[in-house]
């Protein structure tokens, strides 16, 4: 009898530890099977907190003399000294600007040789500011030193487009295996390309094929239900959200799921304006193709929660929701901000797109409404008390 009572007591203690709860800030924390669940309230901890972005620098396609510096700019990075790296997809070079916005050097060029590119998918900086360039067409990752000189490269199998995290000895990238059902895997590799471990399988981006009137092409799916991923460089964490629900998973530097973050959230219904906005994204399509897209692509009944996660250099997670409002002719988007511990701290409405954060600054790319050219800007970030 005593043995039975002891077993019951031990089991009760075990269950209590595996499902213990506590309060922190505005969240309830529950540990289940070793995974920390952060249950946030619908209202943030600091509902009055706001942020202001003051523009400091603008890098345009042309310099002061009218010379073209950026032809088809895309991804950008900022190193520890404030130098800005912008990937130009037309001439396949990485163009480096100093903190004052002056072009100081270029890295790489189009070609098949060492330090050359066939198509650039992503760029990333190591903690010591060495540069990694992922070439999705050549299935190759190249490394450059802090002066932009080629160091080495290695090949990879299948397809890869994104680098999420880097350390002094490894990097985290995606791998897409195309077949009857496309697989998306996230893995950590060393600088020789050897796989160290994998985070597991995730849901890739989807597309819709349109076949009619002698045309055959694929388009993006509106409010696509898929995995949204982001790296926390400060803490070497990977964030994941299956974007049809407000649930964010957090993986530690060893690829182990250790935290889940949620908050009450009601999915928004789609509207006729959302279809118009979706169609407006096909600016280079012919009238015939646009009519086919309008005919065949159906809007879902509800919007996804998010299509973008951003982690700033303080380790805060910014969830860009699909909530919008219009004020004074501008469109504002709601961003939910969670601290390093997963607590929902603030909600802000922004009329600019978020890029990357570095040393109290935010760097982003914007599109000039008149010319259609992309402009890269640096903002000073000012928080209210």
Q: For 316-374, what is each residue's pLDDT tens digit? A: 999 999 999 999 999 999 999 999 999 999 999 999 999 999 999 999 999 876 667 78
Residue 131 sits at the vertex; the CA angle it makes with 129 and 133, to the nearest 5 degrees, is: 160
The CA–CA distances, whole Å, from 233 to 124, 146, 243, 365 equal 11, 19, 22, 20
Q: For 226-274, what is each residue's pLDDT tens digit? A: 999 999 999 999 999 999 999 999 999 999 999 999 999 999 999 999 9
pLDDT above 90 for 10: no
Q: What is the pLDDT of residue 179?
A: 87
Q: Measured between alpha carbons, how far is 52 from 34 in angstroms, rounded to an integer?
A: 39
Q: Measured between alpha carbons, how far is 24 from 5 in angstroms, rounded to an integer?
A: 34
pLDDT above 80 for 188: yes
Q: Measured between alpha carbons, how far is 232 from 315 in angstroms, rounded to an integer?
A: 6
- Identify the three-state secondary structure at position 354: coil
Q: For 278-291, what is each residue's pLDDT tens digit? A: 999 898 889 999 99
Q: What is the pLDDT of residue 201?
A: 95
Q: For 192-211, what is each residue's pLDDT tens digit? A: 999 999 999 999 999 999 99
Where residue 13 falls among pLDDT bands split at 50, 70, 90? very low
Residues in contact with 13: Cβ distance below 8 Å, sequence separation at least 6, in sequence order = none
The CA–CA distances, whole Å, from 26 to 23, 34, 43, 330, 338 equal 7, 22, 8, 32, 11
Q: What is the pLDDT of residue 23?
A: 66
Where residue 4 falls among pLDDT bands split at 50, 70, 90? low
Is 261 in contact with 280 (CB distance < 8 Å)? Answer: no
Mean predicted confidence (pLDDT) in 149-174? 97
In this structure, is the dihedral angle defined by the CA atoms of residues 106, 109, 114 and 118, taken in order, positive or negative? positive
pLDDT above 80 for 24: no
Q: What is the pLDDT of residue 116?
A: 96
Q: What is the pLDDT of residue 87?
A: 95
Residues in contact with 280: Cβ distance below 8 Å, sequence separation at least 6, in sequence order = none
Q: For 59-104, what is each residue's pLDDT tens digit? A: 998 888 888 889 999 999 999 999 999 999 999 999 999 999 999 9
Strand partners, 87: 94
């Amino acid at each position: 009898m005593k043995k039975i009572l002891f077993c019951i007591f031990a089991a009760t203690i075990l269950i209590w530890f595996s499902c213990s709860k506590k309060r922190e800030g505005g969240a309830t924390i529950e540990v289940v099977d070793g995974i920390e669940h952060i249950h946030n309230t619908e209202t943030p901890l600091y509902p009055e907190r706001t942020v202001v972005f003051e523009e400091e620098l603008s890098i345009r396609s042309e310099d002061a003399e009218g010379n073209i510096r950026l032809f088809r700019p895309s991804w950008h990075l900022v190193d520890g000294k404030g130098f800005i790296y912008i990937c130009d997809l037309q001439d396949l070079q990485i163009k480096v600007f100093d903190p004052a916005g002056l072009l100081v050097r270029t890295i790489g060029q189009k070609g098949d040789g060492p330090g050359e590119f066939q198509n650039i998918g992503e760029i990333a900086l190591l903690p010591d500011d060495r540069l990694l360039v992922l070439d999705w067409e050549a299935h190759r990752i190249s490394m450059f030193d802090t002066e932009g000189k080629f160091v080495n490269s290695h090949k990879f199998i299948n397809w890869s487009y994104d680098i999420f995290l880097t350390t002094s000895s490894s990097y985290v990238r995606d791998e897409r295996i195309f077949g009857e059902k496309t697989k998306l895997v996230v893995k950590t590799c060393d600088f020789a390309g050897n796989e160290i471990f994998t985070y597991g399988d995730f849901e890739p981006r989807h597309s819709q094929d349109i076949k009619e009137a002698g045309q055959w092409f694929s388009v993006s799916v509106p409010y696509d239900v898929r995995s949204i991923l982001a790296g926390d460089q400060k803490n070497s964490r990977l964030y994941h959200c299956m974007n049809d629900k407000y649930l964010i998973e957090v993986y530690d530097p060893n690829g182990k799921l250790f935290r889940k973050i949620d908050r009450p959230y009601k999915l928004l219904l789609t509207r006729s304006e959302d279809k118009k906005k979706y169609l407006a994204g096909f600016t280079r399509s012919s009238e015939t193709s646009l009519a086919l897209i309008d005919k065949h692509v159906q809007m879902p009944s509800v919007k996804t929660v998010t299509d973008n996660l951003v982690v700033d250099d303080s380790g805060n997670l910014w969830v860009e929701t699909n909530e919008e409002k219009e004020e004074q002719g501008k469109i504002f988007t709601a961003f939910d901000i969670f601290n390093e511990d997963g607590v929902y701290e603030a909600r802000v409405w922004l009329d600019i797109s978020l890029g990357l954060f570095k040393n109290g600054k935010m760097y982003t790319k914007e599109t000039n409404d008149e010319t259609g050219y992309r402009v890269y800007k640096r903002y000073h970030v000012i928080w209210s008390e």
